Chain A
């Protein structure tokens, strides 16, 4: 069933001009996915936040300073050439994470993971988090835990799953309705539905009727300048994080502000001016 159907490719586009940095996506994610918390969460390098909101600045002095916020879930990389060899998946020694070719979603199986953390080393987005502690909820608070996501134990890696359990439930619902199609509205991640600014759009990048496809207009052809890169956006305002590495994330970002778009990747002196108006890959064939 997986192969004889057209595969989905779930992805996201986040409008950084709408994002207010309020943090609702992060909390919605924690609440949805049974993410624990501990006494001190101010060390952001050991604080599990599947969805983390970064603060970007244009580094100009007062009063020309500008600020933007960038929410960063797992990028669900397709890997070089979008063949499914994500940086993290290919390195996991115990097959505790895999690339779902039917959805494009990168999994993480807590009961399989034994905590070598190679995937974390391989991920340039710091989207993967390690359970340095056993999660402990204050007395009684474990009553709010959701049965749809299994709580983790100490010593394993976890990360954003694009709320895969919502896909599972949407699929069950579709089956119960005798359908094979999952309507766009039936599978939305917790951050998407929570965002009060409506900055996040989620859906199937392969499905032209989905809003995310319409915004991103992913180019199916490899970038002629860098054949590892597939699925560049044909929308001039849309970019991906560290696109040049060839990780092929399925999370796209959108901004009217040039300095924000430029902060999505590294450019040598002068390179940005050459590429800033080049978008998609077919456009300069």
Chain B
């Protein structure tokens, strides 16, 4: 039915089967859209946020998707700037994931603000001292870059590519992609960092506050680093999921091993920095303001030391070591465990740096504030996931996303996906 659109030589499942899958995910998407409209038309009273939780699930989701979407800029950086050519086999997919993550982040931000129609004031009346301004500018610019990076891949669609203009455009864009990759990497360094800075500069919140270099708190650098470290893990994870769903091998092992190795070393070095940061904060910064470490992890029903251990050791140091070590890295099971742990780890980090900050009492007579999101918040947070699945499905079906796909699946296939 849609055979003319499917990349030549590639096998895809039947159109009705495909549409059935899309319909199921689409239903979830519509649920999210309904919740989104509720938030826009009725206001943020639809959420369980409150004056203690000005930042909540959505901001976490924002930070998390941007962190895991960091695979796009870091892979791009490695491919185009450091010329690690093997990565061309996964860069398309990394870009798509990045595009999904960043467009989701922008959408969530548009829902999260109280007067969405005034959202553009952040650009129009920008306060250059605000980390959020830096985030908004770099995020939007980098999203534009990602779009540009995504376009050639779209234009490679069999039908579109027949149009000579598009064909040449795609060709030429590939040629200059290094410039965009460099721009993207530069922008990403900043907005990933400024997202860390968002928390780190809040000197009224001892749980968040970090000293730093010039105007940038240490969390600025840690966020960039962690996005570069954990982003590729998410790319690998989604690739792995796509391979499982399609039942095909899509990327060669050497590419996966390479990216995993790089990620492993990044995670490992990041964890060293993170541990130093945490140690310094726990023993110097916070006590200097009168806070014992126990203040942040006791006397409440949820946040305990476990979350620190989970983030730093279980989902930080362990996946790092698993990915550095050649035998565990090249063992699919261990690698998968490491990747999953790493993605969880970065999500915990972002959670802590958003929600735990809000939960910790600061005034001595104040109490812990815990929060459970409303269904509208959950639905709008799942919305980007559904949207991402649909976009990946469509892209995979109609675009030559994985250059190695045909090679890896050349034998007369018995399977169909």
Contact = CB atoms under 8 A, between A and B. Distances in A.
* In the complex, A touching B (Cβ < 8 A): yes
Interface of A: 43, 45-46, 54-56, 70, 77, 80, 85, 87, 90-96, 112-118, 120-126, 128-134, 153-157, 241-242, 244-247, 263-268, 271
B289 A245 contact: yes
Nearest to A90: B129
B126 interface: yes
Nearest to B364: A263
Contact of A133 (B45, B49, B52, B112): B45
A121 B44 contact: no
B43 A268 contact: no
Q: List 5 tightest A-B contacts by C-beta distance, closest first.
A: A115-B114, A155-B114, A117-B54, A266-B290, A120-B54
Contact of A124 (B116, B121, B363): B363
Given A93-B126, A155-B115, A156-B114, A134 B43 contact: yes
Contact of A116 (B112, B202, B287): B112
Contacts of B44: 115, 130, 132, 154-155
B113 A265 contact: no
Tell me the interface secondary structure of chain B in the complex. loop
A125 B366 CA distance: 9
Contacts of B116: 114
A132 B45 contact: yes
B240 interface: no
B175 to A, nearest CB: 37
Given A112-B121, A115-B113, A155-B43, A128 B203 contact: no
Interface in B227-267: none
A87 B198 CA distance: 12
Contacts of B204: 77, 87, 122-125, 242, 245, 247
Given A90-B201, A113-B115, A241-B363, 9 more contacts: A91-B131, A92-B127, A93-B126, A94-B124, A116-B114, A117-B49, A124-B362, A155-B114, A246-B203
9 contacts: A112-B125, A114-B113, A116-B114, A121-B54, A125-B362, A125-B363, A126-B366, A246-B203, A266-B295
Instruction: Indicate the member of B119, B132, B136, B292 with the most A CB atoms within 10 Å.
Output: B132
B129 A85 contact: yes
Given A244-B290, A267-B290, A156 B50 contact: no
B365 interface: yes
Interface string B340-372: 000000000000000001100011111001000
B51 A120 contact: yes
A94 B132 CA distance: 9
Contacts of A130: 44, 50-51, 54, 114
Contacts of B206: 245
A128 B335 CA distance: 46
Contact of A118 (B124, B130, B292, B366): B130
A121 B290 contact: no
Contacts of A264: 364
